[in-house]
Amino acid sequence: MSKSHSLGAALLLAFLGLAACGGSVTDHDDVKNTSIAQLTNRSASLALACAGCHSETSTAVVSLKGYGAEALRDSLLRYRAETDGITVMHRLARGYSDDDIELLANYFDQDKGER
Amino acid sequence: MTQLDRRFLLKAMGLGTASLALPTPAFARAKARIVIIGGGFGGASAAQTLATVLPSSNITLIDANATYTACPFSNLVLGTDRALSAQQFGYDGLRRLGVTVLNTLALDVDPVAQTVTVSDAETIGYDRLILSPGIDMRWNALEGYDEAAAQIFPHAWKAGPQTLLLRQKLDALEDGQPVIMSVPTAPFRCPPGPYERASMIAHYLKTRKPRSKLIVLDAKDSFSKKALFQEAWDEHYPDHLEWRGASDDGTVSRVDAATETIETDFESFDASVINIIPPQKAGSIADRAGVSDGTGWCPIDPLAFESTQQANIHVIGDATIAAPMPKSAFSANLQAKVCAMGVARLVSGLEPQATILSNTCYSFTTPDEAISIAGVYSNENNILMSVSEAGGVSSLSAVKSIRNQEADQARSWFETITSETFG
């Protein structure tokens, strides 16, 4: 690293430090950034794919409204496990890990989910 | 401090643009200016998502048309009594979310100054630009097929007036006269689209011009859901649809609008209805923004769909090189949402995160029967790849009720995705 680059990096760090300590990043900004981190977390980003077909009013494609986490988890795990299943949902469920199914089930939970 | 001031400060400190990619909490204080070009399934979905996760940002959507005409289901406008108006959506829903919608043509992009030119007098600055320009035709890539020829041989590969023109030509067809369709090599918008269209035109002929027949001239030997389509064609359209692949002289090499003829290597056809699906490329604004490459399409990093060629410009939808994801409305909508979340994080000093993406495409083989293809993808490590155990197509030899169910699901999907996209 050249001298000027290290100097630049040091200046940047100093600037960021100043910005953080000097009160120019307000509590409001912290709240906002926390909220953006949460709104775009893995659960929320996994759920984006589901929303292409499932809405609160969809019919031929089941609405996820009113389901609890347990029912959603069981349903997704069953789709994934049925090796002779031929529906679109069987084909999609095979692409999701246990962890991701858990995140999705909780995300869409009717009571405590984020959606 | 505005972002411009901040950029000036960093510049004064001797830091290159690479430093701007570092997590920078101070960035979040500025009202991020996000400009989106293209108001289809990609652009409108990006605007919706950003308005939700980053309501403090200043979002501008630019599209030349005040009404968007959707391609999915437009083959049913050709082959059934579905109205074109069922394909059309406006932008009032986006406006209600606070998105500024400009119905004007984006003329140019300056990736260095970070501006979009919308007229001689007006440019719009951006911190992040999202391009969702769809496709343009590669005029004359097929000899003789230019914009004027498209009035004689409609492509109908952008829904709207071209869809109606092709339908009018079908309506004017004399019973007993042939219909010809030409299909290019991949990549093109909607891989199974030509074969759904072939099915819908064959249905039209079977029910309205029973002595006529569709001949599909294909520059390929294999295509999306081929076995399923051919099973449906054998069952429903044995007398109304003939498909010829590349090894059976199916490649159209030249068209002549003046004489209304088209040629393969060994044969010449003239017909009153000729549908040419031409070779395609990313929408032309991608070239002016410097985000397309020698293929005519746009390479991207799939984590947040940022261009590999221009910083702070993201590209989504049909214009991208995003294989194994297909160029579909489902893909464009999902890529838009993933991109929007990535952009929200980037302008807030957070890194974009990997996720699981998917795609589902339904194709109608008759007005009440459909088949499907699905895929699941990971963008972990910034590489877009299929999750190997997942995805695939509908089963062959399924009972009619399965095909009916997938047709119902297709209609439900269209309702959901258009209301999610346009509000």
pLDDT of residue B35: 98
Q: Are residues B195 and B314 in the same domain?
A: no
Q: Are residues B193 and B173 in the same domain?
A: yes
Global pTM value: 0.89
Domain range enclosing A78: 3-114
Give me the number of domains chain B comprises. 2
**CB pair distance less than 8 Å for B360 and A16:** no
How far A85 CA lies from chain B's nearest CA (Å)?
10
The answer as to whether B142 is a domain residue is: no
Residue-wise pLDDT tens digits, B159-172: 999 999 999 999 99
Last residue of a domain, one of B256, B276, B296: B276
Give me the number of domains chain A comprises. 1
The answer as to whether B40 is a domain residue is: yes
- Write the CATH number for B381: 3.50.50.60
Which residue in B280, B373, B385, B281 sits closest to B325, CA to CA? B385
Q: Which of A32, A42, A92 to mutate to test the interface with B (most CBs of B within 10 A)?
A: A92
pLDDT of residue B370: 98
Q: Are residues B313 and B234 in the same domain?
A: no
- Per the listing, tokens 């401090």 go with B1
pLDDT of residue A30: 58
pLDDT of residue A57: 85
Last residue of a domain, one of B276, B305, B325: B276
Residue ranges of chain B whose pLDDT lies below 50: 1-29
Q: Are residues B405 and B308 in the same domain?
A: yes
B residues 323-362 closer than 8 Å to A (CB): 330, 333-334, 337-338, 341-342, 344-345, 348-350, 353, 355-358, 360
ipTM of the complex: 0.90
Q: Are residues B125 and B53 in the same domain?
A: yes
**CB pair distance less than 8 Å for A52 and B417:** yes
**CB pair distance less than 8 Å for A93 and B390:** yes
Residues of B in contact with A86 (CB under 8 A): 394-395, 398, 402
A residues 22-81 closer than 8 Å to B (CB): 24-26, 29, 32-33, 36-37, 39-42, 44-46, 48-49, 51-55, 57-61
Could you write out the three-class secondary structure of chain B?
Answer: CCHHHHHHHHHHCCCCHHHHHCCCHHHHHCCCEEEEECCCHHHHHHHHHHHHHCCCCEEEEECCCCCEECCCCHHHHHHCCCCHHHHEECCHHHHHCCCEEECCCCCEEECCCCEEECCCCCEEECCEEEECCCEEECCCCCECCCCCHHHHCCCCCCCCHHHHHHHHHHHHCCCCCCEEEEECCCCCCCCCHHHHHHHHHHHHHHHHCCCCCEEEEECCCCCCCHHHHHHHHHHHCCCCEEEECHHHCCCCCEEECCCCEEECCCCEEECCEEEECCCEEECCHHHHHCCCCCCCCEEEECCCCEECCCCCEEECHHHEECCCCCCCHHHHHHHHHHHHHHHHHHCCCCCCCCCEEEEEEEEEEECCEEEEEEEEEECHHHCCEECCCCCEECCCCCCHHHHHHHHHHHHHHHHHHHHHHHC
Q: Are residues B310 and B262 in the same domain?
A: no
Residue-wise pLDDT tens digits, A7-35: 344 434 333 333 333 333 445 565 667 78
Last residue of a domain, one of B258, B276, B294: B276
Q: Are residues B88 and B172 in the same domain?
A: no
**Do residues B320 and B297 make contact, with C-beta atoms less than 8 angstroms apart?**
yes
Confidence of residue A54 (pLDDT cuts 50, 70, 90): very high
Residues of A in contact with B14 (CB under 8 A): 4-5, 7-8
**CB pair distance less than 8 Å for B412 and A29:** no
The answer as to whether B256 is a domain residue is: yes
- Look at phi and psi of residue B174 and say left if phi exceeds 0, alpha if psi is from -120 to 50, else beta: beta
B residues 6-65 closer than 8 Å to A (CB): 9-10, 13-15, 19, 22, 24-26, 28-29, 49, 52-54, 56
The answer as to whether B144 is a domain residue is: no
Q: Are residues B193 and B86 in the same domain?
A: no
- Write the CATH number for A110: 1.10.760.10
Q: Are residues B257 and B286 in the same domain?
A: no
pLDDT of residue B417: 97
Domain range enclosing B165: 149-276
Residue-wise pLDDT tens digits, A86-114: 999 999 999 999 999 999 999 999 888 87
Q: Are residues B287 and B416 in the same domain?
A: yes
Q: Are residues B175 and B107 in the same domain?
A: no
pLDDT of residue B114: 98
Nearest CA in chain B to A4: B14
The answer as to whether B143 is a domain residue is: no
